[in-house]
A and B are shown apart, each in its own frame.
Chain A
Amino acid sequence: GDSVTQMEGPVTLSEEAFLTINCTYTATGYPSLFWYVQYPGEGLQLLLKATKADDKGSNKGFEATYRKETTSFHLEKGSVQVSDSAVYFCALSDQGNTPLVFGKGTRLSVIA
């Protein structure tokens, strides 16, 4: 079945450091890929998405590129802020209205 594997945390970075959170997936079809973010005490929010190979999703300075050849969707940000401290989840959906399959989440802590 479909699955998502993301790097285990926690990840601790200093403010303005470069962030990469790795995500790879296994899927039978051509899934859409997502990054969701969960800030402390809140629900999940969609951060960015990509629906086909070579698409780049971006939002709030975060980027991720859908790489079909490596089945990856790594999350990057050039300069993190304390306010980026959260848990980040990589997810896929194989087709519309099928349940999202999530990775286990990566906790990011950014210190000033």
Chain B
Amino acid sequence: GAGVSQSPSNKVTEKGKDVELRCDPISGHTALYWYRQSLGQGLEFLIYFQGNSAPDKSGLPSDRFSAERTGGSVSTLTIQRTQQEDSAVYLCASSFKGATEAFFGQGTRLTVV
């Protein structure tokens, strides 16, 4: 596609449920990032994929958070046993190999009730 695509755009879930958020990066981009944007906060780095290398998971806040990237393209961020503090906008970005700038999707707004 022309840009980074994320789905769903909005998700409301009950506390304790698992959720999956999807990111479809720009075609040809080898790097993919997940960030979290909480109300009144900046962007918090979560995880980074680069090609076939092992992902950088240093930003994941707990073991309830995990992410996969299949075939070097689509990525899924999974949050298990959601908590209210997980409510935020989850942003995905991608970039070409070696590039410093990243292109962002419109985000998934997650609300845990």
Contact = CB atoms under 8 A, between A and B. Distances in A.
Contacts of A51: 100
A59 interface: no
B105 A100 contact: no
A99 B33 contact: yes
Contacts of A99: 33, 45, 48, 56, 59
A95 B56 CA distance: 15
A32 B41 CA distance: 22
A100 B34 CA distance: 11
Contact of A89 (B4, B42, B93, B106): B42
Nearest to A98: B48
Given A42-B106, A44-B104, A97 B41 contact: no
A100 B41 CA distance: 15
A89 B43 contact: yes
Given A89-B42, A104-B41, A96 B99 contact: yes
Interface in B65-110: 91, 93, 95, 97-107
B54 to A, nearest CB: 14
Tier of interface size on chain B: 20 to 34
Contact of A97 (B42, B91, B97, B105): B97
Contacts of B107: 43
A49 B101 contact: yes
B104 A97 contact: no
Contacts of B103: 46
Interface string B47-60: 01010000010010
A107 B4 CA distance: 24
Nearest to B59: A99
B95 A97 contact: yes
B21 interface: no
Nearest to B50: A97
Given A45-B104, A97-B99, 10 more contacts: A36-B104, A44-B104, A89-B42, A93-B101, A97-B50, A97-B97, A97-B98, A100-B33, A100-B43, A102-B43
